[in-house]
Amino acid sequence: MAKLKVLTFPDPRLRKVAVPVTKFDKSLEIITADMLETMYAEDGIGLAATQVNIHERIIVMDLSEERNDPKIFINPEFKILDDKSLLSFTEGCLSVPGITEEITRPDNIYLTWHDINGKQHEEEPSGLLTVCIQHEIDHLEGKLMVDYLSPLKRDRIRKKVSK
Ligand code: NI
């Protein structure tokens, strides 16, 4: 396994839109293992492949306090079930180091994804998973948490991060 370099805002490579995974093979196993190693080494709770300059629709996550519950989401997609039900949460991002901001997102979603063997799963997530999966899917679309903030605030964060 290998620890990968995490790109940081405003690196333009964070803006690339990731393509779906079509092969559930050995190379996918290696990528997800490396992504998990990187996420744990950086003490993050989630990591999208875009953040390590791999532009495929892959997300890893561990929301457990014990850091022993790795999850892998391949080609994740969600639908908003109720756009009036919102949740505000203070988010951080390994690609925007040292910054936390309150972001408001839909609270009621329907999530589908494939596991590492290509088997499809579905869930109506709750709590932290609801927030984290939307944050990570944003990465796959080339979108960052700073995009939810005002241009002024975003500019301030750009200066702070690049110091
Ligand atoms: Ni992030």
The CATH number of the domain covering residues in 12-162: 3.90.45.10
* Span 84-113, pLDDT tens digits: 999 999 999 999 999 999 999 999 999 999
| pLDDT of 36 over the 90 cut | yes
Cβ within 8 Å of residue 19, ≥6 positions away: 55, 56, 57
Q: Where are the domains of the chain?
A: 12-162
Q: Which residue has the tokens 């939810």?
A: 148
Q: Which residues are catalytic?
A: 136
Residue 106 C-alpha to ligand 1 middle, in angstroms? Answer: 17
Average pLDDT over residues 35-42: 98
| pLDDT of 152 over the 90 cut | yes
Please give the model's pTM, rounded to 2 decimal places: 0.97
Distance separating alpha carbons of residues 111 and 121, to the nearest angstrom: 8
Residue 44 C-alpha to ligand 1 middle, in angstroms? Answer: 9
